[in-house]
């Protein structure tokens, strides 16, 4: 049997993308027999002029009643805030959840969902391995602002501790240009870096999965076509919705593959330095790709097709497509770097932590990279000069 038929894949969320997508929310809630959602939103999102009004207006001609809006969340999701929001959910008689904004707002919404659905006061049992073994309340996710790459996945992080369950996927992801065009250039750069690293990991994986490749393909295509303009004009609706789609589908694809080198290294370095994962990811990507090219590590030919397009792919000889794919990926990664710090040295990252970070990642990573390779990547990212 062809090895390409041997794979696993799960893509749970329904995705609604485009103009007036918000107006589909009442019908989606009705499909779950729900009409009174608790909205959990990032404070920085609801404080932007006109965002709340546009969101509320989408429910004007429906039977949906917004139970409450909990906006006491920004960059960190903790159990104390989850309890507050869960109490509000119960007190107002809510039957569903909407996460407005990305990052911690979605983590918090997932935590609230577990607390109210499991009738629990904390998550300690789930940290210790208890499974979430039943369907939770309907959760809808509306991307807005900087993403962390987990929103569309089966993962949440509360108080810096991770819980995974296939019941944590959002039921519906609603991508509307009125919500996606609220980013700044640095938000776009960080979100795009994570999406790039996640989708790149699919094509660099040892075992090819045709389904994850099919989902990761449009993510890289959107990034290739829209990244430069999206960084320069983050409020542009057409580019912002394209880049948000890239983040969503990259997260779904990455959820079905082994953890990627760049992602693991960035997460560990961010944990050791308190830097943003998005910033670190964007700064490590060129070094990872350069090392893969230098050591001729294998990547899928489809990487070139996704980034370069069909004409470029067809013009390159089959034996050269993997190498050319890495070259085009490196060019795209350098576009990101123009909106990020040039090096880890600029961020005052101390080199003495590199060996420990490299050792930790090597223990987690079932990959073609060794501990020495990880250390070399960190050194290259530390000493890089602004050249592009």
Q: Check if the beta carbon of residue 388 is closer than 8 Å to that of residue 334.
A: yes
Burial per residue of 182-194, b for 16 or more beta-carbon CB atoms within 10 angstroms, e otherwise: bbeebbbbbbbbb
Which one-letter DSSP state was computed for residue 208?
-
Structure tokens at 352: 């003495």
pLDDT tens for 223-245 read: 999 999 999 999 999 999 999 99
Query: Contact, 93 vs 42, CB < 8 A?
Result: no
Mean pLDDT in residue range 107-117: 96
Mean pLDDT for 86-95 is: 96
pLDDT digits (tens, 9 = 90+) for 22-53: 999 999 999 999 999 999 999 888 888 788 88
φ and ψ at residue 162, rounded to 5 degrees: -100, 140
What is the pairing mode between strands 14-17 and 139-142?
unpaired
CATH architecture of 14-180: 3-Layer(aba) Sandwich (3.40)
- Position 3 scores a pLDDT of 60
On the question of a common fold for 14-180 and 185-383, the answer reads: no
Q: What is the pLDDT of residue 387?
A: 61
Task: Give the C-alpha separation, 73 to 27, whole Å.
Answer: 27
- Alpha-carbon gap, residue 341 to 385, rounded angstroms: 10
What is the tens place of the pLDDT at every residue in 258-291?
888 999 999 999 999 999 999 999 999 999 999 9
pLDDT at 127: 86
How far apart CA 164 and CA 168 sit, in angstroms, is: 7
Residue range 185-383 forms a domain whose CATH class is mainly alpha
Q: Is the pLDDT of residue 379 over 90?
A: yes
> What pLDDT, on the 0 to 100 scale, is given for residue 74?
80
Q: Which of 163-172, 208-217, 357-366 has the lowest mean pLDDT?
A: 357-366
Give the strand pairing for 68-73 and 155-158.
unpaired
Q: What is the pTM of this model?
A: 0.94
Task: Delimit the domains of the chain by residue range.
Answer: 14-180, 185-383
User: Per-residue pLDDT for 82 more than 70?
Assistant: yes
Q: Which pLDDT value is given to residue 386?
A: 66
Is pLDDT larger for residue 273 or for residue 387?
Answer: 273
Query: Among 87, 81, 239, which residue's Cα sits nearest to residue 159?
Result: 81
pLDDT at 51: 86
For the chain, the straight-line distance linking the first and the last C-alpha, in angstroms and rounded, comes to 47
The percent of residues above 90 in pLDDT, for the chain, comes to 79
Name which of 172, 369, 384, 160 is nearest 272 in CA terms.
160
Q: What string of DSSP letters covers 53-111?
A: HHHHHTTTTSS----EEEEEESS---HHHHHHHHHHHHHTT--EEEEESSTHHHHHHHH
Containing H/E element for 140? strand 139-142
Span 118-131, pLDDT tens digits:
998 889 888 887 88
277-294 vs 261-273: helix axis angle to the nearest 10?
140
What is the reported pLDDT for 1?
A: 42
Alpha carbons 98 and 139: distance in angstroms, whole number: 6
């Amino acid at each position: 049997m062809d090895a390409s038929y041997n794979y696993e894949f799960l893509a749970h969320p329904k995705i609604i993308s485009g103009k007036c997508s918000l107006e589909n929310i009442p019908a989606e809630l009705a499909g779950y027999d729900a009409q009174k959602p608790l909205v959990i939103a990032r404070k920085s999102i609801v404080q932007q002029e006109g965002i709340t009004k546009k969101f509320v207006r989408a429910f004007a001609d429906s039977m949906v009643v917004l139970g409450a809006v909990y906006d006491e969340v920004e960059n960190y999701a903790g159990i104390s805030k989850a309890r507050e929001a869960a109490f509000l959910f119960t007190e107002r008689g809510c039957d569903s959840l909407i996460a407005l904004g990305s990052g911690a707002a979605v983590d918090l919404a997932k935590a609230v969902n577990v607390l109210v659905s499991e009738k629990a006061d904390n998550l300690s049992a789930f940290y210790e391995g208890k499974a979430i073994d039943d369907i939770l309340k309907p959760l809808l996710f509306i991307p807005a602002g900087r993403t962390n790459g987990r929103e569309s996945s089966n993962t949440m992080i509360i108080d810096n501790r991770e819980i995974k369950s296939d019941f944590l996927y959002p039921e519906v992801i609603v991508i509307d240009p009125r919500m996606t065009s609220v980013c700044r250039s640095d938000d776009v750069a960080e979100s795009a870096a994570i999406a790039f690293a996640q989708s790149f990991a699919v094509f660099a994986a040892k075992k090819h999965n045709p389904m994850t490749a099919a989902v990761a393909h449009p993510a890289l295509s959107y990034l290739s076509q829209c990244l430069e303009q999206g960084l320069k004009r983050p409020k542009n609706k057409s580019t912002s919705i394209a880049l948000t789609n890239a983040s969503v589908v990259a997260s779904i694809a990455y959820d079905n593959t082994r953890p990627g080198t760049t992602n693991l290294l960035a997460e560990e370095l961010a944990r050791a330095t308190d830097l943003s994962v998005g910033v670190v990811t964007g700064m490590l990507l060129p070094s990872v790709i350069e090392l893969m090219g230098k050591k001729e590590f294998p990547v899928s030919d489809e990487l070139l097709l996704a980034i370069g397009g069909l004409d470029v792919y067809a013009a390159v000889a089959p034996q050269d497509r993997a190498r050319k794919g890495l070259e085009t990926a490196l060019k795209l990664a350098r576009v990101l770097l123009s909106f990020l710090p040039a090096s880890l040295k600029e961020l005052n990252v101390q080199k003495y932590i590199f060996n420990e970070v490299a050792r930790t990642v090597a223990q987690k990573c079932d990959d073609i990279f060794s501990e020495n390779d990880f250390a070399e990547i960190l050194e290259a990212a530390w000493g890089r000069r602004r050249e592009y």
